[in-house]
Amino acid sequence: MRAAVFVGSEQLAIENIKPADPGPQDVVVEIQASGVCHSDLSLARGYVPLPPGFVLGHEGTGKVVEVGKEVSRVRKGDRVIASFIPACGNCWYCQHDQSNHCDLESETAFSPRGTREDGSPYFAMTGLGTFAEAMTCNQHSLVKVETDVPAEQLSLIGCGVTTGVGAALNTAEVLPGSTVAVLGCGGVGTAVIQGARIAGASRIIAVDGQPLKREQAKKFGATDVVDPAQGDPVQQVKDLTQGRGADYSFEVVGLPETMITAYNMARKGGTVCIVGMARADATVTFPAFQLFFEEKRILGSKYGTAHVRRDFQRFVDLIETGRLDVSHMVSRKIKLDQVNEAFRAMEAGEVIRSVIMPG
């Protein structure tokens, strides 16, 4: 089976790998589509330390082709979206309405999945490894959906859509009539914009240095755009919000500098939502007096605070009724061996999402 494997450098290698026989809790999924997310590139660049031998890809959809003996969640033939954090339903977090912190996460992320051509074991990013023709994963990493939405759109629910729309609806709980600033308008930022639009925000300000992304942001619901090259972006956002700053600001870049910018863009008493994935060794410094004085709420948002068993079908339904536009988030459909080109296009700001169609 062909897969794109992290071998210690930014360029992924297309290898023939041999999956192990599925365990009792495992499911084999034929991958129909897999989005190329910025987190894949971040891992390839070593932002989060990872040994070589990981199949990357964590945003995918496909069809169940084989199930282990104890699998009860899905059946052969089911259409599924992969959840990059499993939701076991039984651990403390799952039982306290926070399945995006499920205890199974680290266990599934570091289990060997089979052997590479040289005989060494391979692992799979977040226990998935969707940059492949098929994957073997734990049953709790899969959510069955009922829909005819095309695979390339469904795949984005696995990460970008859920992370972004979820940040607006679940984490920040954007209120109707409110003002929202979004820093970084790639795949996830675009989804935050759409989440804010669905929530009924009156003003959605898209902040991005790339002209193409600002243009696209408008199509997804941004009412205003800010180009940081045209002067202090914080002041530009304040100018658009009666001098106060936004009710909600979202950082969707993953850099300490933009986290501070997002903090400064929120009004007093407003909400700052950190969605971007920073380097594991990065730190950010907030002004101590203002933390108290301006009373802003700083919220981390992991996987859009999603309950995947509830939210995946919910997002599918929003796509089906035309309220959530994922079709225009899919910029390119590509083959597995074009994954490195997809990284380049992402960096160049040419695409919102490239989606690998391995079949």
Of residues 94 and 205, the one with the C-beta less far from Zn ion: 94
- C-beta closer to Zn ion: residue 128 or 201: 128
Distance CA 98, CA 96 (A): 6
The distance of closest approach from Cβ of residue 349 to Zn ion in the complex, given in angstroms and rounded to an integer, is: 17
Q: Classify residue 325 by burial, with Cβ atoms within 10 Å: 0-12, 13-18, 19+.
A: middle
- Residues 294, 269 contacting (CB under 8 angstroms): yes
Q: Alpha-carbon distance 181 to 245, whole Å?
A: 9
Shortest distance (Å) from residue 139 CB to Zn ion: 12
Residue 48 CB, nearest approach to Zn ion (Å): 12
Which one, 40 or 247, has the nearer CB to Zn ion?
Answer: 40
Q: Note the residues at the interface with Zn ion (CB under 5 A).
A: 37, 39, 88, 91, 94, 102, 159
Give 216-272 as a DSSP string: HHHHTT-SEEE-GGGS-HHHHHHHTTTTS-EEEEEE-S--HHHHHHHHHHEEEEEEE
Dihedral angle computed from the Cα positions of residues 147, 152, 157 and 161, in that order, rounded to the nearest 10 degrees? -130
Considering the complex, state which of residue 39 and residue 190 has its C-beta at the smaller distance from Zn ion.
39
Retrieve residue 314's tokens.
């919910």
Shortest Cβ 37–Zn ion spacing (Å): 3
Helix segments in 21-122, DSSP class H: 38-44, 92-95, 104-109
Nearer Cβ to Zn ion, position 37 or 142? 37
How many CA atoms lie within 13 Å of 122's alpha carbon, on the beta-carbon side?
A: 32
Task: Judge contact between 244 and 237, C-beta under 8 A.
Answer: no
Q: In whole angstroms, how close is the CB of 164 to Zn ion at the nearest point?
A: 10
Minimum CB separation from Zn ion for residue 341, in Å? Answer: 18
Least CB distance to Zn ion at residue 140 (A): 7
**Largest alpha-carbon pair distance within the chain?**
63
Rounded to a whole number of angstroms, the minimum distance from the CB of residue 103 to Zn ion is 5
Q: Which is nearer to Zn ion, 128 or 324 (CB)?
A: 128
Comparing CB distances to Zn ion, the nearer of 186 and 270 is 186
- Cα dihedral 299, 303, 308, 310, rounded to 10, equals 40
- Looking at beta carbons only, is 266 or 339 nearer to Zn ion? 339
Report the nearest approach of Zn ion to the CB of residue 132 (Å). Answer: 16
Instruction: Give, in degrees to the nearest 5, the angle at Cα 171 between 167 and 176.
Output: 85
Smallest gap from residue 204 Cβ to Zn ion (A): 22
Shorter beta-carbon distance to Zn ion: residue 34 or 261:
34
Q: Which is nearer to Zn ion, 270 or 358 (CB)?
A: 358
Taking the C-alpha atoms of residue 104 and residue 106, their distance in angstroms, rounded to an integer, is 6
Q: Quote the CA–CA distance of 275 and 195 in Å, as a whole number.
A: 13
Structure tokens at 179: 């003002």
* DSSP letter string, 220-232: TT-SEEE-GGGS-
